[in-house]
Chains A and B, each alone.
Chain A
């Protein structure tokens, strides 16, 4: 039995290896020929209005289910709320290894329609770009994962591990419908050794990919609310206690404040790595911000805030006042005004101590400072390891596809990986290549002109597919 078993096993491996070699020899995916299909899928999901709230991610789940059904890939819908469903598809492997999970969230942040040059759900192609809400958050990963599944199936790639695809709802502030629900109610459906999600990607500077980031750690989002109270009255008689004036002073102070710079292993590695590959004039700032000389550090900090706000946020617990609401009629002094600060805490930040710092900066007894009652993501138990198999595969793919080195990063945004990392899954954040300059110019994620280069969509699908094949194919 044992001998026969070994023989059978050996034959299977040989056959598999043969088929794999043949499959690849016969061309593997013809990436050029696949471009219209990728674009079609990308535009199709971008055109589904899944702004959250209300979400309506079921329209994406139904679309994907239809695509999987047609391709003969088993897929299933899971929903806490019928309008906010998730879809899981699975390609079976031979079970040698534990599964890999590839995921993308189907919801997008809301839009201020009036601000968009191209309608936010038009997925207009213009000048080599696709413009739409979700182009880089997160329908790029959704399309990358979908195409990887379709191609693995189409090319009958033999697998050592199951490849699970998850399109989850509610990532943008309502994860109880998405990853929270899947982890607590249907964890066996998505349980995996590794996972790939949003949060990284190649960075282009001056139009050329310079390095690729893989997210291995993320900041913890904490909202802080400022509430000013004053005396209400008629606007023709200004009052010293005007709640709007007090709150405006507080928001101005806290908005201009830059909390202390602090590094951890990931960000230290990242900035040191960046210094070695950046142009000399930029490298200077990455080295200086690591300096112990407070003057050098402050000057570098200033430069980064002005020119590379993403890097500035990686240095510290960041504070961005994003909502200010007070008053309801121009001739009535309101008795209350509220502002919401979007705070992204470094993983080691002490929330209570930080709140005290904010109070000291606000320095106005008329302004109350407190944490919002918010669905806080769990702190991660395991950071993804830099010496792990997936990290090495990601490094190799970046070298091959983008011709860049890979740097580990701490994401400034929260992702659904937090819940999986809390379960011990090693998660890595990836993504399409974007221009470093796009953020400050107003083309970044959540902006009113969110966009992705068409050529970078195609390249990302290839990167995604090759990483998964490398990690999951039968060897």
Chain B
């Protein structure tokens, strides 16, 4: 019994070996065929879809993401890719497309959000939904947040289907609404109501990318964890009256002083595993003058650290935000008529907490900095994202991303903590290993006012094409049948 069982097992093993051999052969055959897309020829199609989605006004509020969903649905239908629309509100729909694999492995989810932050149209040189091409760039709201990922995910699905790439796992595409503040219509709705449609082992979304300095890619980042957004509201109360008689209690003056103090304050610098590896890695690959600042910021000497912090705040605000719980006063409203002293003024601080921050203790710090009993500081009732565990750095997707970065951009890969929240928070909370990726952007663009959410949001055309290739190759590497 034992022996015959052994023999049976042996036979099964050899047949498995045969199957393995066959599949290796098949893979080799596939590999030998010219399955790699002709990237040069695809540029016009990539640009066409990118501009098409950029030109759909999905500013949130109100969103109207159904515009993007309708566009995507019609594309998927035309190509014969099964897709389905899910909506809590018909104007704020989500779309899921799925390419079936052989089921050997659990699915891979690739996602992009369809909504954009609002615009102040008068500030834009090129209309924010024109997707104007100028000097090698495309200018529009959403170019780097997040219609780049949306376009790349779309192209990857179209190409996998067109190339008939055999898959070991399903590849699921999700275009979700409401990422910019109303995830109840998007990822929250999908996770709560239709999780089976998007359930996956791994997911890719926004939050990483390649950093160019002086026009050349220097390193790639993969977002493995994220800061937690907590708004803080400041409200000052004073006596109202006629503007011809200034009052010491003027709510606007009190609030202005509070906002000035809190805006100039820099909370304590603190590292976690991801940011520590990030800055150490960055120091290793940066030019010596800049590397000195990255090393100094990790120093235990408070003077050395403070000088590095000053330099980083001035020159690399994104890095400054990775060092600490950050505070940015972004809204201030008070008064309704020039000759009336209002009895109230309000300001909103955009606070991005380090994953280990204690919110209540931080609020107390803010109160101490403000130091004015006429100004109240509190957390508004806000839709908080669930706390998320960091994604693993020794995983298959991280390695696939690292390999693609070396191949395509010739740069090393650093894990990062994103300073902003993404829809990955909800998926990580469900145990999914999520990684944030994105196209290459210039480190200098943010401070110059070309960054995401700015009035001149833009992306280099060449970097859009390169990102689509990167996206496709990483997905093929992870999901292609072996």
Residues of A within 8 A of B (CB): 109-110, 112, 115, 137, 172-173, 219, 221, 223, 231-240, 242, 244-245, 247-252, 255-256, 305-306, 309-310, 312-313, 318-337, 339-340, 342, 344, 372, 411-414, 439-442, 444-448
Contacts and interface: CB of A to CB of B under 8 A. Distances in A.
A445 B259 CA distance: 29
B247 A242 contact: no
Given A115-B343, A413-B242, A329 B250 contact: no
A220 to B, nearest CB: 11
Contacts of B343: 112, 115, 442, 447-448
B154 interface: no
A415 to B, nearest CB: 11
Given A112-B336, A115-B240, 12 more contacts: A232-B453, A233-B446, A235-B352, A237-B446, A240-B317, A247-B256, A252-B256, A320-B244, A327-B332, A331-B180, A331-B181, A342-B338
A247 B118 CA distance: 22
B339 interface: yes
A318 B240 contact: no
Contact of B339 (A109, A112, A325): A109
B64 interface: no
B2 interface: no
A331 B419 CA distance: 12
Given A237-B419, A441-B239, A330 B327 contact: no
Given A231-B449, A239-B317, A309-B248, A248 B263 contact: yes
Given A219-B244, A342-B338, A236 B326 contact: yes
Interface in B307-351: 313-314, 317-318, 320-321, 326-345, 347-348, 350
Contacts of A250: 256
Give the residue among A312, A326, A336 with the most B Cβ atoms within 10 A. Answer: A326
18 contacts: A173-B338, A221-B339, A237-B446, A237-B451, A238-B263, A238-B320, A255-B252, A323-B335, A323-B336, A324-B255, A331-B180, A331-B229, A331-B420, A339-B256, A412-B244, A444-B241, A444-B242, A445-B241
A445 B447 CA distance: 46
A250 B343 CA distance: 20
Contacts of A448: 240, 343
B103 to A, nearest CB: 39
Contacts of B245: 309-310, 312-313, 318, 320, 412, 439, 444
B455 A232 contact: yes
B243 interface: yes
A313 B341 CA distance: 14
A15 to B, nearest CB: 49
Give the residue among A173, A235, A251 with the most B Cβ atoms within 10 A. Answer: A235
B257 interface: yes
Contact of A256 (B241, B253, B320): B253
B130 interface: no
B182 to A, nearest CB: 12
Contact of A248 (B260, B327, B348): B260
Interface string B56-77: 0000000000000000000000
A328 B256 contact: no
Give the residue among B227, B256, B333, B342 with the most A Cβ atoms within 10 A. Answer: B256
B401 interface: no
Contacts of B142: none
A342 B328 contact: no
B425 to A, nearest CB: 14
A324 B333 contact: yes
A446 B263 contact: no
Given A252-B253, A322-B341, A331-B180, A245 B453 contact: no
Interface string B285-325: 00000000000000000000000000001100110110000
Interface string B255-296: 111111001100000000000000000000000000000000
Given A232-B449, A251-B253, A446-B339, A329 B330 contact: yes
B196 interface: no
Contacts of B339: 109, 172-173, 221, 322, 342, 413, 446
B123 interface: yes
A218 to B, nearest CB: 9
Contacts of B247: 309, 320, 440
Contact of A328 (B331, B446, B452): B331
Interface of B: 117-118, 120, 123, 145, 180-181, 227, 229, 231, 239-248, 250, 252-253, 255-260, 263-264, 313-314, 317-318, 320-321, 326-345, 347-348, 350, 352, 418-420, 446-449, 451-455
A236 B240 contact: no
Which secondary structure characterizes the binding site on chain B?
mixed
Nearest to A218: B244
A233 B241 contact: no
A320 B337 CA distance: 12
A322 B331 contact: no
A442 B239 contact: yes
Give the residue among B252, B313, B343, B345 with the most A Cβ atoms within 10 A. Answer: B252
A323 B145 CA distance: 33
A450 B194 CA distance: 56
Nearest to B247: A309
B259 A244 contact: yes
A236 B227 contact: yes
A375 B343 CA distance: 26
Contacts of B341: 320, 322, 446
B263 A439 contact: no
| 3 pairs of A and B residues whose beta carbons are closest in the complex | A255-B253, A245-B263, A342-B243
A322 B328 contact: no
A411 B245 CA distance: 10
B256 A321 contact: yes
A124 B17 CA distance: 93
Give the residue among A245, A320, A439, A444 with the most B Cβ atoms within 10 A. Answer: A320
Contacts of A319: 246
Give the residue among A231, A323, A411, A446 with the most B Cβ atoms within 10 A. Answer: A323
A255 B341 CA distance: 12
A133 B227 CA distance: 48
Contacts of A332: 117-118, 330, 453
A255 B256 contact: yes
Given A237-B419, A331-B229, A110 B241 contact: no
A320 B243 contact: yes
B116 to A, nearest CB: 11
B330 A256 contact: no
Contacts of B327: 238
B311 to A, nearest CB: 12
A68 to B, nearest CB: 31
A251 to B, nearest CB: 4
Nearest to B120: A328
A110 B446 CA distance: 41
A439 B248 CA distance: 12
A334 B330 contact: yes
Nearest to B326: A238
Contacts of B449: 231-233, 335
